[in-house]
Amino acid sequence: MSSTPTQTDKFMQAAIDEAQQGLAEGGIPIGSVLVHKGRIIGRGHNRRVQSGSAILHGEMDALENAGRQSAQVYAESTLYTTLSPCAMCSGAILLYGIKRVIVGENQTFMGEEALLESRGVTLQVQHNDACISMMKNFIAARPALWDEDIGR
């Protein structure tokens, strides 16, 4: 796993934009985009609050919004997410055979990175300052909502 700080690239910025949109809607600021051959084919953000959903995390929303894709498209795609993927989202990454995941940060929450790597997924953690501060601020402001979703 690579874990060197990097500048925010356009795809991570798109995921951050999704997270900020979720926050503006009263939800949890986690965003994600699915990129295939240099083009965003799915984007999403955590919509559990907005939709009353039990499963719409940012990664799940991005996959849903990408629509049905072939196994080859998933295998050739990279998933960008502002926060380390939880067990549910990691399961979806494995189920669809996504081979590369770029994570904005894993300081506020460490997801199933070891599982993903053990199954051949390449991970890069950017330690992105915008992602870190967005989550730290949210957790401080809305601890009960964070605990309801993923923070336990």
Take residue 7 and report the two structure tokens written for it. Answer: 């500048």
Cβ atoms of residues 31 and 15 within 8 Å: yes
For residue 59, indicate whether it is catalytic: yes
Q: Which of 18, 25, 59, 112 is catalytic?
A: 59
Angle between helices 10-24 and 129-141 (to 10 degrees): 20
Take residue 127 and report the two structure tokens written for it. Answer: 């330690």
Phi and psi for 79 in degrees, rounded to 5?
Answer: -100, 125
Task: List residues with catalytic annotation.
Answer: 59
